[in-house]
């Protein structure tokens, strides 16, 4: 996945172009050595850049066209993947994929958003914008997992739920809302990982679980930065300011108790090394699944409830200013 | 998923014009242009006696129209601590202060216990004048506590939505309130206790995509704007104008998303009969 570089990766892009030019020439010992040297220099610079990404740069990485999508992880982490199509009500939504698979010898259900890679697939996947039938398919598949006592692994990567007329006509609000309610009490382990864009209700609609993790350079937001800038700054060009203000990066959200952990990405981001990204995700998934599976049903459901119950913490995010109540000035 | 106003241009809440009946003695109905005496309008639950236009009402007026008499308000003093330290063209803290002064409320919902047609009931009524009725951590916490009280007291829960959705200035934490309230409703549901959702103008964004659509009954007031995405966002997506009446109560009824459209003057009776259907019959 070489030459697609982002604007802030310019120093890397320059080196990659040099490497490309050298590779065109007849191969010599000396040139091979030079290429290797440039390559390691490029990796080094990339590492430095990615250690200090600004929030807006993280948005760019999360939206990177080469970013691995759900099916790239399915292929690397699971075997025997069998896709389950359709909500049995209206249609099959290509923007959400569900399927049974085997993870380390145990059957699981995989659910996630899927963006398309080329133009044809992008259209088929509706650019990762799911419609009501996508959320309904997800719930149907998750109830199947519950019935047969199989854990669920969810991959979240969507700009938003599809804001079109048919979404409203077919009840996108109801579809998302029902998932929020039912996933809260679904009696099997659910592990959620944000692998790209956590786009507001469209993300949350499949993102209720016992563990919610984010990959290192992903974002999770109530509104796209451009939309927030357009409304509050009345200027969508203020997206960088809006991104800073919204606090949507993985470290921000870990600090605020919205997520449980951050899954590291390989040098230069997941799009730079699919296998490396999958290996790092594998470690986190296995551990989360082991911990959650060790709990009894009752414990797991209580903890899941408490986890979302605690979104917004007394004394930190809100306070009780009643005179009779001691002020929580932590 | 942010709150969107009905007007064409989304605006910051600080410049929002009062949308309720203003203080003057007389008011002109925006639908039929009838000049109405304010006190008469209030006595008619802010519904135009001539054309039945439903004016937006405050959370307090809403509770007055549903409870039999006095009610007990809970968690009145919960206040947002501005968890993100959010500033756009104006500091969020200042927006909060402006809203306290304008409404006398600490946030965009009042949650109270009382009797509705003799039945013990928890009611949450949203206040649109407080930052567009948007849902942040305080709204989520107060409503969730209300649901937990309904479970503890084995009574019904009513939520009257009037909101532009999640509150951007509290970022992802406000998004998470959708999950939090819905988790509470999951427990209420499994306890077989009633939840009546009343959708009023406007109910959009994250409020619609969580508790507003989860009622055992979803009841809409006439002609309310109810939707997920704001009309402007949809128009930008599809690059065409939306048809008249799109995302109005009648459209939702036609598409099977609400159980009934009920005139505000019959709302209390409708809720009472629904609660009587759902609550266990008294052993005699
Ligand atoms: Zn009128």
pTM higher than the cut 0.90: yes
pLDDT at A4: 76
Chain B contact for A227, CB < 8 A? yes
Provide, as residue numbers in chain B, all residues whose Cβ is less than 8 Å from the Cβ of A220. 172, 175
Chain-centroid distance of CA A290 in Å reads 21
Chain A hits for B210, Cβ within 8 Å = 176-177, 180
Residue B118 is given by DSSP the state T
User: Measured in angstroms, how far is the CA atom of residue B47 from the centroid of ligand 1?
Assistant: 8
Give the residue from B179, B128, B31, B105 showing the smallest Cα distance to A176. Answer: B179
Q: Cis peptide before A123, with omega less than 30 degrees from 0?
A: no
**B interface mutation test: which of A127, A161, A198, A222 has the most B CBs within 10 A?**
A222
CA of B52 to the centre of ligand 1 (A): 6
The partner residue sitting opposite A163, judged by closest CB among B76, B208, B234, is B234
A288-301 burial by CB neighbour count: b if 16+ within 10 A, else e? bbeebeeeeeeebb
- pLDDT at residue B281, as a whole number: 82
Would residue B118 be called left, alpha or beta, if left means φ above 0 and alpha means ψ between -120 and 50 degrees?
left
Closest CA to B229 of A164, A41, A114: A164
Among A residues 251-280, those touching chain B with beta carbons less than 8 Å apart: 253, 256, 258
Position A5 scores a pLDDT of 86
Cβ-contact A115, A64 below 8 angstroms: no
A2 burial via Cβ count (<10 Å: 0-12, 13-18, 19+): exposed
The three-point CA angle A294-A107-A154 to 5° equals 75
pLDDT, average across residues A90-115 = 98
According to DSSP, residue A233 is labeled I
CB-CB: which of A180, A305, A317 is closest to B210? A180
Distances (CA, A) of B197 to A163, B126, B203, B213, B260: 23, 12, 11, 7, 11
> Cβ B87–A177 below 8 Å, yes or no?
no
What are the residue boundaries of the structural domains of chain B, listed by start?
57-278
Cβ-defined contact of A316 to B81 (cutoff 8 Å): yes
In B26-170, which residue ranges form alpha helices assigned H by DSSP? 38-43, 59-66, 92-103, 137-153
> Average pLDDT for residues A22-51, to the nearest whole number?
94
The answer to whether residue A178 neighbours chain B at the CB level (below 8 Å) is yes
Check residue A13 and give left, alpha or beta (phi > 0: left; psi -120 to 50: alpha).
alpha
| Contact residues, chain B, for A176 at CB < 8 Å | 209-210, 228
**Contact: B206, A201; criterion CB under 8 Å:** yes
> If you measure CA to CA, which chain A residue comes closest to B138?
A318
Q: What is the pLDDT of residue A79?
A: 98
Rounded distance between C-alpha atoms, residue B64 and residue B85, angstroms? 35
User: Does residue B233 belong to the interface with chain A, where contact is any CB pair within 8 Å?
Assistant: yes
What's the B201 CA to ligand 1 centre distance in angstroms? 16
How many CB pairs lie under 8 A apart between chains A and B?
220
Report the distance separating Cα B7 and Cα A158, nearest Å. Answer: 28
For residue B21 the two structure tokens come to 């009946």
Nearest to A318 among B81, B205, B214 (CB): B81
Q: How far apart are CA A71 and CA B83, in angstroms?
A: 36
Please give, rounded to a whole number of angstroms, the shortest distance from the CA of A295 to a CA of chain B: 19
The token pair that represents B171 in the structure block:
């970022």
pLDDT digit string (tens) for A264-291? Answer: 999 999 999 999 999 999 999 999 999 9
A12-21, A318-327, B162-171: the lowest-pLDDT one: A318-327
Chain B neighbours among A 285-304 (CB < 8 Å)?
Answer: 304
Q: Which residues pair with B125 in a beta bridge?
A: B110, B160
How high does pLDDT run on average in chain A? Answer: 95
A-chain residues near B168 (CB < 8 A): 222-223, 228, 231-232, 246
List CB contacts of B184: < 8 A, sequence separation 6 or more: A309, B143, B144, B147, B148
Instruction: Work out the number of other CB atoms within 10 angstroms of the CB of residue B87.
Output: 17
- What stretches in chain B show pLDDT beneath 50? 1-19, 284
Chain B neighbors of A163, CB-CB under 8 A? 228-229, 233-234, 237
Q: Chain B residues with CB inside 8 Å of A231's CB?
A: 2, 4, 10, 12, 168
CB contact under 8 A, A247 and B190: no
d(C-alpha A183, C-alpha A179), whole Å: 6
Partners of residue A204 in chain B, C-beta under 8 Å: 175-176, 178-179
- Rounded CA separation A98/A6 (Å): 31
Contact B168 A228 (CB under 8 A): yes
β-bridge mates for residue B112, sequence order: B73, B123
Distance B35 CA to ligand 1 centre (A): 8
B267/chain A closest Cα distance in angstroms: 22
Distance from CA of A98 to the nearest CA of B (A): 22
Confidence at residue B20, expressed as pLDDT on a 0 to 100 scale: 55
Q: What is the pLDDT of residue A323?
A: 76
Taking only the tens place, the pLDDT of each residue in A61-101 is 999 999 999 999 999 999 999 999 999 999 999 999 999 99
- CA dist A294 and B140 (Å) reads 31
Whether the CB-CB separation of B216 and B196 falls below 8 Å is answered with yes
Residue B137's closest CA among B93, B101, B107, B159? B107
- Shortest Cα distance, chain B CAs vs residue A288, angstroms: 21
State the pLDDT at residue A3: 54
> Taking CB atoms and an 8 Å limit, are A232 and B88 in contact across chains?
yes
Question: Which ipTM value was assigned to this complex?
Answer: 0.95
Judge whether B242 is closer than 8 Å to chain A, CB to CB. yes
Chain A residue with minimal CA distance to B177? A311
Task: Answer for the pair B231, B246: CB distance below 8 angstroms, yes or no.
Answer: yes
Backbone angles phi, psi at B194, to 5 degrees: -75, 145
Ligand 1 center to residue B49 CA distance, Å?
7
Structure tokens at B38: 């304010």
CATH number belonging to the domain at B57-278, selected among 3.40.50.2300, 1.20.120.1200, 3.90.226.10, 3.30.2020.30: 3.90.226.10
Please indicate whether residue A35 or residue B4 has the higher confidence score (pLDDT): A35
Q: Are strands A152-158 and A190-199 parallel, antiparallel or unpaired?
A: parallel
Between CA B225 and CA B221 the distance in angstroms is 9
Residue of A67, A139, A133, A81 lying closest to A110 (CA atoms): A81
């Amino acid at each position: 996945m070489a030459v697609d570089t982002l604007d802030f990766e310019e120093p890397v892009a320059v080196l990659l172009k040099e490497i490309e030019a050298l590779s065109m020439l007849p191969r010599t010992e000396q040139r091979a050595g030079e290429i290797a040297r440039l390559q390691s220099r490029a990796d080094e610079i990339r590492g430095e850049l990615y250690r200090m990404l600004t929030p807006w740069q993280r948005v760019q990485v999360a939206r990177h066209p080469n970013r691995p999508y759900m099916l790239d992880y399915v292929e690397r982490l699971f075997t025997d993947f069998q896709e389950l199509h359709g909500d049995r009500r209206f249609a099959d939504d290509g923007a959400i994929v569900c399927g049974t698979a085997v993870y380390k010898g145990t059957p699981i259900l995989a659910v996630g958003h899927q963006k398309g890679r080329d133009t044809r697939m992008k259209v088929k996947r509706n650019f990762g914008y799911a419609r009501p039938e996508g959320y309904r398919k997800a719930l149907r598949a998750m109830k199947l997992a519950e019935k047969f006592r199989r854990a669920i692994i969810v991959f979240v990567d969507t700009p938003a739920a599809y804001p079109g007329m048919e979404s409203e006509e077919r009840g996108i609000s109801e579809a998302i809302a029902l998932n929020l309610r039912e996933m809260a009490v679904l009696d099997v382990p659910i592990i959620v990982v944000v692998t790209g864009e956590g786009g507001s209700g469209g993300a949350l609609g499949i993102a209720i679980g016992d563990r919610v993790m984010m990959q290192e350079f992903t974002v999770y937001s109530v509104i796209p930065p451009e939309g927030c800038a357009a409304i509050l700054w009345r200027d969508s060009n203020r997206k960088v300011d809006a991104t800073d203000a919204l606090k949507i990066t993985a470290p921000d959200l870990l600090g605020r108790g919205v997520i449980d952990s951050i899954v590291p990405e390989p040098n230069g981001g997941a799009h730079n090394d699919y296998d490396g990204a999958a290996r790092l995700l594998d470690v986190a998934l296995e551990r989360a699944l082991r911990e959650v599976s060790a709990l009894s049903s009752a414990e797991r459901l209580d903890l899941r409830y408490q986890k979302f119950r605690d979104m917004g913490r007394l004394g930190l995010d809100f306070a009780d200013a009643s005179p009779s109540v001691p002020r929580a000035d932590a | 998923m942010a709150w969107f106003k009905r007007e064409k241009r989304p605006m910051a809440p600080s410049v929002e014009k009062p949308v309720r009946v203003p203080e003057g003695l007389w008011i002109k109905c925006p639908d039929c242009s009838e000049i109405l005496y304010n006190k008469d309008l209030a006595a008619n639950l802010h519904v135009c006696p001539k054309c039945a236009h439903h004016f937006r009402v405050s959370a307090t007026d809403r509770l007055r129209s549903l409870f039999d008499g006095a009610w007990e308000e809970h968690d009145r003093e919960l206040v947002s601590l501005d968890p993100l330290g959010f500033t756009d063209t104006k500091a969020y803290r200042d927006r909060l202060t402006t809203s306290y002064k304008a409404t006398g409320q600490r946030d965009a919902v009042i949650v109270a216990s009382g009797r509705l047609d003799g039945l013990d009931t928890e009611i949450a009524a949203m206040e649109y004048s407080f930052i567009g009725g948007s849902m942040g951590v305080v709204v989520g916490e107060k409503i969730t506590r209300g649901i937990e009280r309904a479970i503890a007291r084995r009574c019904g829960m009513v939520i009257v939505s009037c909101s532009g959705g999640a509150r951007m200035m509290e970022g992802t934490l406000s998004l998470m309130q959708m999950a939090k309230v819905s988790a509470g409703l999951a427990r209420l549901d499994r306890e077989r206790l009633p939840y009546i959702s009343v959708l009023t103008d406007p109910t959009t964004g994250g409020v619609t995509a969580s508790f507003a659509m989860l009622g055992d009954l979803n009841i809409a007031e006439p002609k309310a704007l109810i939707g997920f995405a704001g009309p402007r966002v949809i128009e930008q997506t599809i690059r065409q104008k939306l048809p008249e009446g799109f995302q109005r109560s009648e459209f939702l009824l036609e598409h099977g998303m609400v159980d009934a459209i009920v005139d505000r003057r019959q709302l209390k009776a409708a809720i009472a009969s629904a609660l009587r259907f759902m609550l266990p019959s008294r052993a005699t």
